[in-house]
Chains A and B, each alone.
Chain A
Amino acid sequence: MVKLNETPIRTCKNYNINEIEFDEKIPMKIKKFENVKIAQETGKDEVIEDFKPNDFDIKYGSGLIENLKENYNKSIRINVNSKMNKDIKLEFDFDEKNLELFENIEIVGNEDTNSNIYIVYRQRTTGKAFHNGLIRVIGNKNSKISVTIVNLMNEESSNILSIDGKLEEESILNYTIVDFGGKTSITNLYTNLSGKESQNSINTIYLGSNEEKIDINYIAECFGEKTSINMEVQGALKDKAKKNFKGTIDFKKGSKKAFGDEAENCMLLSNTSKSISLPILLCSEEDVEGNHSSSSGKVSDKELFYIMSRGFDKKSAEKLLVRAKFNSILETIKNPEIKGEILYEIDQKLDK
C-alpha cells in the first residue's frame, strides 16, 4: 500500500483527506506502448516522439514519479512555435496488447506562441489497464497554451496522472480536464505562477459510477504580481462512487494584486455516493484576493419536476441536468469529435 496525492498542508488525519491509500500492484519493466496517434493541424510545431526526458524533478506529483522515471514506455515532447492556435492531438488507446502506459509528455510554449493541445486516454476494450503519466507544461513569456486532458478509461483500470506547469511573465495556461474513467483515478496538478501577470485556469468535470474512486489534488502557487488562478470543478457521482477534491491556492509573499478563485460543485445522484472536499486557501501576502466555494447535494427536485413536466422520464431529466452543469466547461472544448465522444460517454455512464 502506498500513500498518493498528498496535500501540501495536512489536516487532521481522521478527516481521511490528507492522501489516498493505493493498494494495487504497480507494474514494473513494462513493454512499449504502441497505440499512440499524433496529429497536428500545422507543421510548424515540433512533436518529438521517444525523446529522452532528463528531468522528472517536480515539486508535488502523484507520488509515483520515481516509478515513472524508472519505467516510462513512451515520451513525447511538443515544442510550440506557431501563433495560429491550431490543434495538436495525442491519443493513447489502451487495448488487450497495450494495457500499461507510463508516459512523459513535455509541452513547451515558446515566447509569443498560441497552441491548443488535446491528450486523450481511451479504452474501449475490457481488461485492467494501468496508466501512470506525467505531463509537464512550460509557458514561456506571453505564450498561450490550452491543454485538454480526457480520461475515458474503463471501470477496471487505474489512472494516475501528474501534471506540472510553470508560467513565465504574461503567459496563459488553460486546462480542461475530463475525468470519467478508471476504477481509481488519481490526478495531481501543480502550477507555479512565477511570472508577473501569468494566468492559469483549471476547468474540470468528473463523473463517477459503480465503486469508482476519484482523487483530485490541485495546487497553485502564486509568486508573481498580478497573477491569476481560477479553478472550477463540476462533478457528479452515482452508485457507490467516491470523490476527494483537494484544491489549494497559495498566495506567496510578493504576489501583490494576485487573484484566486476556486469553485467546486458535486451532484450526488445516489444516497450511497460520497464526496469529500478540501478547498484550501493559504495566504502570506496582504494585497491579494482569494475566494473559494464548495457545494454538494442531490439534483434539485424543482428542476427535475420542471423537466419531467415537459415529458421526460426521471433518468433523462437527470441526464439533462448533469449535462447542463457540465456545459460551461464542455463549451471550452472546440474539437467536435472529442466533444462528441465526451457527450456520448456522459450518456453511457448515466444510462447504466
Chain B
Amino acid sequence: MAKTKIDDINRSVYDIKNKDDYDYKIKKGLTREIIEEISRQKNDPDWMREFRLKALEVYNKLELPTWGPDLSELNMDEIATYVRPKGKMASSWDDVPDDIKNTFDKLGIPDAEKTSLAGVGAQYDSEVVYHSMKEDLIKKGVIYTDMETAVRDYPELVREHFMKCVPVYDHKFVALHGAVWSGGSFVYVPKGVKLDFPLQSYFRLNSPESGQFEHTLIIVEEGASLHFIEGCSAPKYNKVNLHAGCVELYVKDNAYLRYSTIENWSKNMLNLNTKKALIGKNAQVDWVSGSFGSKISMLYPMSVLNGEGAKTEYTGISFAGKGQNLDTGFKVVHNAPNTSSVINSKSISKNGGKATYRSLVRIMENATNSKSSVSCESLMLDDISSSDTIPTNDIRTDDVEFSHEAKIGKISDKTIFYLMSRGISREDALGLIVRGFAYPISKELPVEYAVEMNNLINLELEGAIG
C-alpha cells in the first residue's frame, strides 16, 4: 500500500511579516483598566463603554469549555487585545500606509475589488484601514462600513442589534469579544435591494502576541439579497495569537444571504470565533466555510430558523496539517414550521493533524414538517493523523424528517487501482481523488478562492511503502 503525502499549505504570501509598527498598542492583559483604556482610545459612547465592562464581568465568571481542544496555553496576560495601526481609515488604497497596502496587494485584495467585488473592507490588526463600496449601492441605501463608524453614525441600528443575536453569556470567548472588540464590518441592505456582486472584508493580524476581535454585523432587510465574503490570515510567530471575532447576521423575511469564509490563520493562532444567523420567514442563509490555518480552531457557525419556511445550508471543509487541531462544524436550531437545513461537511487530516467535526441539529417542538439532512466525510491521509465526528441530534417533535450520515477512512486502494489501470499515474490518481473529495465544497467557493484551495491541496507522492 502506498503512502501519500499532501504538502502543507503554501503560506509564503500569508507569512509576510511587517515590522510591528503601530500607532498605539495596549499593554498585555485583561483588566477593568485595560478595557476602560480601549474604550477611551476608541472614543466609545457611554453605552458601549458600559457594555464592555459588563462583558468583562461575564468573562471573569464563565469557565473555559470542558470539551474540545486543550486551551491551556492561552494566557490572556500575554495578549495585547488592542493594536491600532498607523494611518487612518482610507477610502483610497493610495492613502493606506505603504507597508500595509503592500500586504493587501500581495493578498490580492485591491485586484479582486476591481474585478469582482461590490465593496471591500480591509482590517489590519485592530482597526479597519480601508473601506470602499460602489457608488450605485450607496444610492440604493446600502451601508457598508467599519463597525466604529457604524456605532457613531447609526447608533440606533447598532444598539438594537449589537450582541443581541450572540449574547455575551453564550460562552467565555464571546464575553471576551464583547469586552475588547475592535474593527469589523457593518452591512445594512435595505428592503428589496439585491446586490449583484459580493462585498468582501479581509482581516489581517500582523502584530505578535496580540489578538484580533473584529465584529461583523449584517442586517439584510426583507426581500433583499447579499453575498458577503470574509477572509482572514496572519504571519506566524513563536507565541500564541488569538482571534475571537463575532459575526451576527440578521436575515429578515424572504431575504437571502450567502456568507463565505476562508480562514487561513497562521499555525500559532488560536481561532475561537463565533458566528450566528437569525433567519426570518422564507429567508435563507447559506454558509460556505473553509478552515485551513490556525493551531487550534473552535468554529461552529449557527443558523436559527425562526421564521416559517426558513432555510439554511452549510458547506464546509477543513484541512488539518502538522500541529493543527481543527474542531469545526455547524449548529442549527429549527424553531418554526416547514424549515429545512442541509449540512455537508468534509475534512482532511494529514501529517499529525487532528480534524474534528462537531455539530448540533435541534428541531424544536413547534418546528413541524421540518427537514434536516446531514452528511460528513473525513479523509485521513496517513497513520499519524486523527479524525473524529461528534454530532448531536436533538429531535423534539415527531413531524420531521431527519437523517445524518458520516464516513471516515482513507483513500480506497481499489479506486487508485482503477484509475491507474486507465493509464493515470499514482500521483495524478491521488490528486484526482483528493480534489474530487473537496470538489463539492470548492465549487461553492468564489472562483478565486476555489483556485487557491486547489493549489493548496498540492499532492506529492513519497514512494511506496509496504
Contacts and interface: CB of A to CB of B under 8 A. Distances in A.
Interface of A: 9-13, 15-18, 251, 253, 266, 268-298
Interface of B: 1, 65-67, 358, 360, 365, 368, 378, 380-383, 385-410
B395 A15 contact: no
Contact of B401 (A12, A287, A291, A297): A297
Contacts of A13: 66-67
A298 B382 contact: no
Nearest to B409: A289
A292 B400 CA distance: 20
A7 to B, nearest CB: 9
Contacts of B380: 283, 286
B398 A11 contact: no
Contact of B409 (A272, A290, A292): A290
12 contacts: A9-B390, A11-B390, A12-B360, A15-B360, A15-B392, A281-B408, A286-B385, A288-B410, A293-B403, A295-B402, A295-B403, A296-B402
Contact of B394 (A15, A280, A297): A15
A271 B408 contact: no
A269 B67 contact: no
A271 B397 CA distance: 5
Contacts of A270: 398
Given A12-B65, A280-B391, 20 more contacts: A11-B358, A13-B67, A17-B392, A17-B394, A253-B383, A268-B398, A268-B400, A276-B394, A277-B392, A278-B390, A278-B391, A279-B406, A281-B406, A281-B408, A288-B408, A292-B404, A293-B404, A294-B393, A294-B402, A296-B393
Contacts of A293: 403-406
A277 B360 CA distance: 10
Contact of A298 (B358, B383, B396, B399): B399
B395 A274 contact: yes
A13 B390 CA distance: 13
Contact of B395 (A10, A17, A268, A289): A268
Contacts of A253: 383
B410 A297 contact: no
A16 B358 CA distance: 14
B386 A284 contact: yes
Contacts of B360: 12, 15
B403 A278 contact: no
A283 B405 contact: no
Contacts of B1: 287
A225 to B, nearest CB: 13
Contacts of A277: 392-393, 404
B388 A276 contact: no
B398 A298 contact: yes
A283 B358 CA distance: 14
B67 A296 contact: no
A64 to B, nearest CB: 22
B395 to A, nearest CB: 4
Given A15-B394, A275-B395, A278-B392, A297 B402 contact: yes
A291 B406 contact: yes
A11 B378 CA distance: 19
Contacts of A18: 67
Q: Which 6 A-B pairs have the closest CB atoms?
A: A268-B398, A10-B67, A298-B398, A290-B408, A296-B395, A286-B383
B387 A283 contact: yes
Contacts of B368: 271
A50 to B, nearest CB: 42
Nearest to A276: B394
Contacts of B387: 283
A283 B382 CA distance: 12
Contacts of B397: 268, 271
